[in-house]
Chains A and B, each alone.
Chain A
Amino acid sequence: MRLYILWPYMSMPNELAREVKRGSTELLILALIEDRPRHGYEIARLIGERSEGTITYHVASLYPTLYRLEDRNLIEGRWVEKAGQRRRRYYRILPEGRKVLASQRSVWEGFFLALDRVVKLRQA
C-alpha cells in the first residue's frame, strides 16, 4: 500500500530549521566545552568547521550566548595567560551545564524524530 499525503503546512520545515538554530546554540556551546575548556574564537571556529554547513551560526550571537550561559551558572569563563600567546578567556562547563546538556540532548532526540517525520511526509 502506498501512502500519498498532501502536506498542508509547507512553511513548517523552515520554521523548524529556525527552531533548530535557536535551540541549538546553547547545546552546541555546551557540547563543545564538555570535554575541555575553549575560548570564544575557538568555539566559533569549531562550530563553523565541524558542522560543515549543517548548522549555520551567526557570530553575533556567540558572545551574548556565552554571557547568558555564564549568568545562568552553566559555564564559567576565566582569563588565562600563557607565555608567547595572547591573553585568552577560556570557558569551561559547570555541573549545572552538564545537566542542561544532558536534558537538551534528549529534547533533541525527540526533535530529530519529529524532523524525520517531516522529511518522510514530504517524500511520501
Chain B
Amino acid sequence: MDWKARVRAAFASRTIPDDDIVEELAQHAASAFEAARADGCDPAEAGRRVETHLAAWAGQSAMLARRPSRSPAVEPPAAAAPWFAGLGYDVHYTFHVLRRQWTHAAVIALTLALGVGATTVLFSVAYGVLLKPMPWRDADRLIRVYETRQGSTRKPTFLTNGTYLAWNERPATIENLAGWSVYPAAMTGVGQAERVRVVEATASLFSMLGAQPTLGRLFATAADGGAEPSQVVLSHQLWQRKFGGARDVVGRPLQIDGQPYRVVGVASEAFAFPDREVLAYIPFNVPPVGGKDGQGGTISMFAALAKLRPGVTPAQAAAEATASGRSAPDPGLVTIAVFGTKGQVQVSAVPLLDSVVGEVRPALLMFLVAVVLLLAVATANVASLQLARATSRRREIAIRSALGAGGSRLTRQLLVENLVVGQIGGLAGLLLAAVLLRVLPSLAPADFPRVADIGLDWRVALFSIGVSLAASLAFGLAPVLQARGVNVSEALAEDGLAPVGGHTRSKTARARLLIMAGQIATAAVLLVGAVLLTRSFVALMRADRGYDPANVLTARLLLPDSSYSAQRRSELVEGTIERLKQLPGVRAAAVASRLPLAGAEILSAFPVPGRRGGREVSAHAALRQVSPGYFAALGLRIIKGRGFAETDTAASQQVVIVNRTFAAQYLDDPPIGVRFAFDREVVGVVDDVRYGGVGDPVQPEMYLLSRQLKSGFTVEEPMVLVRTAGNPLLLASTLRSIVRQMAPLAAVESVMTMEDRVWTSLARPRLYAVLLGGFAAFALAVAGVGLFGVLSYSVSLRAREIGVRTSLGATPWSIIGLVVRQASVVTAAGLIVGLGAAAMLARSLSSLLYGVAPSDPITFVAVAALLAVVAVVACVVPARRAARVDPVRVLR
C-alpha cells in the first residue's frame, strides 16, 4: 500500500506538508496498520483505524506544514546502555532536586550533622579512653594492686613494703611485681635548674611494661648501693629538650633534689608511664619493714603494678597478696596512722585499664547511651521528613515508572538522593566533631584519664562515615520501599493526606506522631539529666566546705631539705608571714603544711586518754602544722574554746586544736583542757573542714603550731595563704618578691586563689554537666528543628485547606491555633513519656549527683517549661506562614 499517497490524500484540501513529514507520517501509518493487523483486525478495520490518525493529522495541518528544512545526517541509535548509564544524571538530578527544595535538604543535612557530630565526638572519647589498648606489653594482664586494713575508711591507693616484699618472694599468681611513686623534684647540674616530675620505680617496672631504651639501657639491676651515684633514665622528651638529643648523654652526671645521679639511658619516645608529664626515672629499692616486736618499723607506700600469669584472675592474685601481706612483719603504730586502724591486711586488684579509667567509665557509658539515643532520634526525624516528602513524590515516581524507568533505576535515583543528602550531613557532622574535639581537651579536667588518646583518627572518621551512611540508608529506606511497590505505598497513599499530629488515620501518620513524640521525650530525658548535673555542680560550688575560699591567695613555697633545715624553714616562713601581714589590704596571712585541695598530708597515730576515764586508746589523726593566723586566713569556724594566739609560743604551754570529728571520736565533752600527745592541751575545737572533695568522709584532724614543734617546720613545701580585702591575685607578684628576698634559693609555685583551687577540683562534674548539657542542647535542637520541619511541611500540604478555611471566614488566629494545636498534642505526649522515663533513669545518676535529688521537682518543671517554649518557637514560622496563606493564590 502506498501510505505516502494516502497521507497526501488526507491533506487534500489543506496545505500538504513537506516531503519528509509526509514520509514520517506514512511510516507511522504503515506501522499502525501493521500493528492493527497483528491485533487481529481485518484489512478494512485496520484501514479505518489508520484513517482516524490521518484525519487527526490533517486537522493539525497548519502545525505540520511549517517545517524548516532538516539536516539529512544519518545516525544509528545508541547501543543498550550499561548499568551505570545515567548515574551522573541521577546525581545531577539530585542536586537539581536539592536546589529546588534546599530548605528541606538543609533541614535533613543539619539534623544529621548534629547527630553524627555528637555521636562521633562521644565515640572518639569512649574509644580513646575506654577501648584503645594501653601501649604496654600484655596490657590486659597488668593489674594495679591496692592495700588497706580491715575496718579502714580511707580509700586504698597504694601497697606497703611489707606486703610487696612478702608477696614478691615466691608469687604463684603473678609473673612480676613492680612499685613506683611519682613526685616533683628539682633537677640541677644540667642547664637551668628546673622542677621535673620524676618516677621512682623498681627495676621490674620497665621489663614488665616491655619498655625499650632509645639509648643506653634501662635499670638492669634492682640496686645501686653505697656511695655510687644512682642511675637515672631520661624520658625522650627531656633528652631532646635538655640535651638536644645528644648521643653522648649516657654517663653524664646531674642532681635530683641535690642527690647525685648518672644518666644510664633514654626511654623510647612512645614510653610514657604513668603519663607524659614524667621526665625522668630513678631506681627504687623497696625497704624492709625492720623494727622489733611490731614497734617502730618502717612503712613505705607506693603504687604497685603486677603482671598476672596467663589464666589467673585479679581476684586470685589479690587473695594471694592478702595472704602474703598478713604474714609480713607489722610496722607497729604507724599502721594506725596510715590506715586509721590496726585490722588485717586486705589487698585488692583491678585491671590496669580499669584503674585508670574506672572512675569515668559510668559517666562515659551514660553519655554513649545518650548520644546513640540522640542519633536514633535524629535519623528517625529525617526518616519522618523523607516519608512525608516521598508521599508527595509518589506520582512523579509513578510517571517515571510508567515512562519506562525500571525498578532498579528508581531505587538508584532515590538512594542516590538520600546518600547525597546523608553524606552532606555526615561530612558536616564530621567537621563539627573535629571542632568539638579541639575544644574538648581545654574542657577536660587535668586529672581526666587518657585525654591524649582522644582524637579524630581514621577509626573515628570511618565510624563517622559509617554512621552517616547507615543513617542515610535508614532514612532513605522508606521512600525506596514505597517506590518498589512494597505494601508501604498503600499506607503512604493515605498518609500524604493526613496532616501531621492532627489526625492519626494512617499507620504512617501514627508512626510520624510517635517519632516526634519520641524526639521530645528523648530531649526531655537528656535535659533532665543535664539540669540535674548542672544543679549538682552549682550545689558543689556552693557547698559548705568549712572555710571561706573568697579573697584568699595561696601559693606553695619550695624549701627542700637539701637547702634548708627545718629550723631555718620555720624562721623563713614566719618572717614571710610577718612581712605579708604588713602589706596594705591584707586581712590575715598564714602558713600551713596543708590547705584544702593542696599540700602535704601528715598522718599520725598516738595514745589518747580513754573517754569517761576508760583505758587509753590509739588515736589516728591527720596533722596540720600551721601558723597562728591560719584559722583567720582561711575563715575556719572555732566551735569551742579558742583559736591559736600570738601568746602561744615555743616557751608557753604546748597546745592543740582538734576538729569536730576528732573531738567526737576520741574526747570527752567538754574537750577543752584534755591533754595528750606529749602533754599537749586541747584549747579549741574547729568545725570540720573538707580538705578533699565535698563528699569525702572527714578524718580526725589536729592542728599544731609549727613554732611549738621541736623539729621545726618539717614539711618541705609549706603552703602560704593570704586573705585580702580586694582581688587577691593583685598580691601575687608582691608575694613572689618577698619570698625571693627572704629565701633566694626558694621557689614559689602554684600561685592560685582558693576559689580557683575549688573551681579546678570541680572540673570533672563541670565537664559532665557541660557535656550532657551539650547533648541536651543537641537533642533540643533536633526536636525543635524536627518539629519545625514537620509543621512547615504540614502547613504546605494543608495550604489549600487553610485557603478554603480563610475564604470561608477563618481568622488568622484560628489558623495559627490549628498549627499550635498540632504541636501541643505532640509535645504533651512526648513530655509525659520523657519525664516518666527521666524519673526512672535519673536514679542511675545518683552517684554523680551532690545536693540534689534525682527526683528534684524544680528540674522536672523547668525541663517541661523549656520544651514547651521550644515547641512554641518551632510553631512561630509555620503558623505565620499558615496565617498568611493567600486563598486566591492557592485555590486558583
Give A residues with C-beta under 8 Å from B: 1, 3, 5, 7-9, 28, 31-32, 35-41, 44-46, 50-52, 54-55, 58-61, 63-64, 67-68, 71, 77-82, 86-90, 92, 98, 102-103, 105-106, 108-109, 112-121, 123-124
B68 near A: Cβ within 8 Å? yes
With A41-B28, A87-B23, A89-B27 already in contact, 14 other A-B pairs whose C-beta atoms are closer than 8 Å? A5-B804, A35-B81, A35-B404, A41-B27, A45-B35, A60-B57, A78-B73, A78-B75, A80-B76, A105-B93, A116-B797, A117-B800, A121-B800, A124-B801
**Nearest chain B residue, comparing its CB with the CB of A40:** B28
Q: Are B71 and A78 neighbours in the complex by a CB distance under 8 Å? A: yes
B131 near A: Cβ within 8 Å? no
Closest chain-B Cβ to A33's Cβ sits at a distance in Å of 10
> 8 closest Cβ contacts across the A-B interface?
A60-B56, A64-B63, A120-B497, A112-B395, A117-B800, A41-B31, A31-B403, A106-B100
Contacts of B53 in A (CB 8 A): 59-60
What's the Cα separation between A64 and B64 when bound, in Å? 6
Name B800's contact: one of A78, A80, A102, A114 (CB within 8 Å).
A114
B394 near A: Cβ within 8 Å? yes
**Nearest chain B residue, comparing its CB with the CB of A63:** B64
Q: Are B396 and A109 neighbours in the complex by a CB distance under 8 Å? A: yes
Contacts of A120 in B (CB 8 A): 496-497, 801
What's the Cα separation between A77 and B393 when bound, in Å? 32
- Give chain B's interface residue range (CB within 8 Å of chain A): 35 or more
B85 near A: Cβ within 8 Å? yes
Contacts of A105 in B (CB 8 A): 93, 396
Closest chain-B Cβ to A8's Cβ sits at a distance in Å of 8
Q: Are A86 and B77 neighbours in the complex by a CB distance under 8 Å? A: no
Q: Are A36 and B78 neighbours in the complex by a CB distance under 8 Å? A: yes
B51-95 vs A, CB cutoff 8 Å, 1 = contact: the mask equals 001001101100110011011111111100100011001001100
What's the Cα separation between A36 and B75 when bound, in Å? 12
> If the complex has contacts A59-B53, A60-B60, A89-B20, are A79 and B403 also in contact, measured as CB distance less than 8 A?
no
Q: Are A63 and B24 neighbours in the complex by a CB distance under 8 Å? A: yes
Contacts of B799 in A (CB 8 A): 117
A-B contact pairs, 5 of them (CB 8 A): A60-B57, A63-B63, A86-B31, A114-B800, A120-B497
Looking at B31, B403, B404, B797, the one whose CB has the most chain A CB atoms below 10 A away is B403
Give B residues with C-beta under 8 Å from A: 20-21, 23-25, 27-28, 30-32, 35, 53, 56-57, 59-60, 63-64, 67-68, 70-78, 81, 85-86, 89, 92-93, 96-97, 100, 391-396, 398-400, 402-404, 496-497, 502-503, 796-797, 799-801, 804-805, 807, 891
**Nearest chain B residue, comparing its CB with the CB of A58:** B56
What's the Cα separation between A124 and B398 when bound, in Å? 24
Contacts of A112 in B (CB 8 A): 392-396
Name B59's contact: one of A1, A36, A60, A79 (CB within 8 Å).
A60
Q: Are B400 and A31 neighbours in the complex by a CB distance under 8 Å? A: yes
Q: Are A106 and B97 neighbours in the complex by a CB distance under 8 Å? A: yes
Q: Are A55 and B402 neighbours in the complex by a CB distance under 8 Å? A: yes
What's the Cα separation between A112 and B497 when bound, in Å? 12
Q: Are A88 and B27 neighbours in the complex by a CB distance under 8 Å? A: yes
What's the Cα separation between A59 and B807 when bound, in Å? 41
What's the Cα separation between A109 and B35 when bound, in Å? 35
What's the Cα separation between A76 and B796 when bound, in Å? 39
Contacts of A81 in B (CB 8 A): 74
What's the Cα separation between A88 and B398 when bound, in Å? 30
Q: Are A50 and B20 neighbours in the complex by a CB distance under 8 Å? A: no
Contacts of A115 in B (CB 8 A): 395
Contacts of A39 in B (CB 8 A): 27
> If the complex has contacts A32-B403, A54-B402, are A90 and B77 also in contact, measured as CB distance less than 8 A?
yes
Contacts of A86 in B (CB 8 A): 27, 30-31
Name A79's contact: one of B28, B74, B92, B497 (CB within 8 Å).
B74
Name B497's contact: one of A41, A50, A108, A119 (CB within 8 Å).
A119
Q: Are B394 and A67 neighbours in the complex by a CB distance under 8 Å? A: no
Contacts of A8 in B (CB 8 A): 804, 807
Looking at B63, B391, B807, the one whose CB has the most chain A CB atoms below 10 A away is B63
Closest chain-A Cβ to B482's Cβ sits at a distance in Å of 14
Q: Are A109 and B393 neighbours in the complex by a CB distance under 8 Å? A: yes
Contacts of B67 in A (CB 8 A): 67
**Nearest chain B residue, comparing its CB with the CB of A62:** B28
Contacts of B396 in A (CB 8 A): 105, 108-109, 112
Contacts of B86 in A (CB 8 A): 35
What's the Cα separation between A61 and B59 when bound, in Å? 10
Contacts of B60 in A (CB 8 A): 60-61, 63-64
> If the complex has contacts A78-B75, A102-B93, A102-B96, are A113 and B392 also in contact, measured as CB distance less than 8 A?
yes
What's the Cα separation between A1 and B403 when bound, in Å? 40
Closest chain-A Cβ to B491's Cβ sits at a distance in Å of 15
> If the complex has contacts A78-B75, A102-B96, A109-B396, are A40 and B24 also in contact, measured as CB distance less than 8 A?
yes
**Nearest chain B residue, comparing its CB with the CB of A5:** B804
> If the complex has contacts A36-B77, A36-B78, A118-B800, are A50 and B27 also in contact, measured as CB distance less than 8 A?
no
